[in-house]
C-alpha cells in the first residue's frame, strides 16, 4: 500500500517549489538585463538603507533534552509520571529534519526584519530505557524503576512537531564589497513565537493511536551567520533553541511532555 504524504511534507514541497521558481526567475532576469554604460548608469540608492527580501531553506540536526512524560487515562484510572525520559531526534532519517523561512528587512531600518519560519523536527522515545515511574496504573499504586516499553511501547512525534514561527530578527552586515553592493558576511539573531501542528504516535499497553492536531505554543531563540557565495546567494549556519510543552491524544486520554531542543542547521539563503 502506498505511503501517503503528510501535511508538513506537502507544505514543504509547495514552499520548495516556490523557492525554486523564485531563484530561476531572479537568475533569468539578471541574465536578460543589458549592462548600462558606466557614464549613463543611474546612481544606486544606498544599499544599507534599502528594503530586502530573503528566503532560506536548510537541513540540520536536533537534540531534545530528557524530560518528564505524563500519561493520563481517566477512563482507565491511570495517571503515570515517567521521570527523565530520553528522546532521539533521528534528524537524518526520512522524513528529514528541515526548515524554510521568509524574511522582510525594513526600508530605513534594514538591520531589523520580520519573518515567517517553518521547522519540521521529530522526537522518539526509546522503549528499552529504564525510567522511574510513579502514580496509578489502572487504579493500583506504582512507584518503581522499569523499562519504559513495559507500559509505553511507543511515544513519538515522528511526522514532526511542525513549528510555525513568527520572528523578529536583527542582523549586522559586515565586510562590504568595494562597490558597497553586497555584504560578504551577515550575522543575525532572532526570537520567535507561534503555534505547532504535532503528529503524535503512541502505543500504550498495546493500544495504538496517531493523529495530527493543533498543538501548544512554541518559542525560539536563534543566532547564526551567512557567507556570501554569488550574487544574492549565501551559505548559512545557525544554532537554535526551541521550547514547547506538547499534549497529544493517546488511547483513552492524553500524554504530555516538555520539549527543550537544541538545533544546528545549515543551508542556503537568497537576498533580493
pLDDT digits (tens, 9 = 90+) for 140-164: 999 999 999 999 999 999 888 999 9
The overall average pLDDT reported for the chain is 87
pLDDT digits (tens, 9 = 90+) for 107-141: 989 999 999 999 999 999 999 999 999 999 999 99
More confident residue, 179 or 35: 179
The set of cell numbers assigned to 161 is 512537531
3-class SS of residue 127: coil
Angstrom CA distances, 12 to 26, 157, 268, stand at 21, 17, 15
The set of cell numbers assigned to 68 is 518528564
244: enclosing H helix or E strand: strand 233-250
> Measuring CA to CA, which residue among 99, 116, 90 is closest to residue 12?
99
Q: What is the pTM of this model?
A: 0.81
More confident residue, 9 or 220: 220
3-class SS of residue 20: helix
Spell out the residues 6+ positions from residue 45 whose beta carbon is closer than 8 angstroms to its own: none
Segments in 72-229 forming alpha helices (H): none
Residues β-bridged to residue 241 = 221, 262
Task: For residue 215, give the DSSP letter.
Answer: -
Domains of the chain: 7-22+47-271 (2.40.160.20)
Residues β-bridged to residue 69 = 82, 257
Task: For residue 74, give the DSSP letter.
Answer: G
Task: For residue 196, give the DSSP letter.
Answer: B
The set of cell numbers assigned to 247 is 499534549
> Measuring CA to CA, which residue among 169, 159, 149 is closest to residue 103?
169
Amino acid at each position: 500500500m502506498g505511503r501517503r504524504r503528510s501535511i508538513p511534507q506537502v507544505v514543504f514541497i509547495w514552499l520548495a517549489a516556490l523557492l525554486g521558481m523564485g531563484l530561476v526567475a531572479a537568475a533569468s532576469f539578471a541574465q536578460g538585463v543589458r549592462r548600462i554604460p558606466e557614464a549613463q548608469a543611474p546612481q544606486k540608492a544606498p544599499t544599507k538603507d534599502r528594503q530586502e527580501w530573503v528566503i532560506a531553506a536548510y537541513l540540520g540536526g536536533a537534540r531534545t533534552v530528557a524530560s518528564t512524560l505524563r500519561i493520563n487515562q481517566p477512563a482507565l484510572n491511570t495517571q503515570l509520571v515517567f521521570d527523565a525520559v530520553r528522546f532521539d531526534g533521528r534528524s537524518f532519517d526520512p522524513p528529514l529534519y528541515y526548515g524554510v523561512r521568509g524574511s522582510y528587512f525594513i526600508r530605513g531600518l534594514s538591520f531589523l526584519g520580520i519573518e515567517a519560519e517553518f521547522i519540521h523536527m521529530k522526537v522518539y522515545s526509546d522503549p528499552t530505557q529504564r525510567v522511574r515511574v510513579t502514580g496509578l496504573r489502572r487504579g493500583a499504586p506504582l512507584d518503581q524503576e522499569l523499562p519504559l516499553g513495559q507500559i509505553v511501547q511507543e511515544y513519538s512525534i515522528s511526522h514532526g512537531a511542525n513549528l510555525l514561527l513568527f520572528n523578529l530578527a536583527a542582523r549586522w552586515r559586515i565586510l562590504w564589497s568595494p562597490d558597497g553592493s553586497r555584504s560578504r558576511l551577515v550575522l543575525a539573531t532572532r526570537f520567535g513565537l507561534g503555534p505547532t501542528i504535532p503528529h503524535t504516535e503512541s502505543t500504550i499497553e498495546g493500544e495504538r493511536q496517531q493523529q495530527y492536531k493543533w498543538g501548544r505554543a512554541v518559542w525560539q531563540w536563534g543566532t547564526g551567520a551567512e557567507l556570501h557565495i554569488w550574487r544574492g546567494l549565501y551559505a548559512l549556519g545557525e544554532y537554535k533553541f526551541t521550547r514547547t510543552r506538547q499534549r497529544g491524544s493517546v488511547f483513552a486520554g492524553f500524554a504530555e511532555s516538555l520539549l527543550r531542543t537544541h538545533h544546528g542547521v545549515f543551508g542556503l539563503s537568497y537576498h533580493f
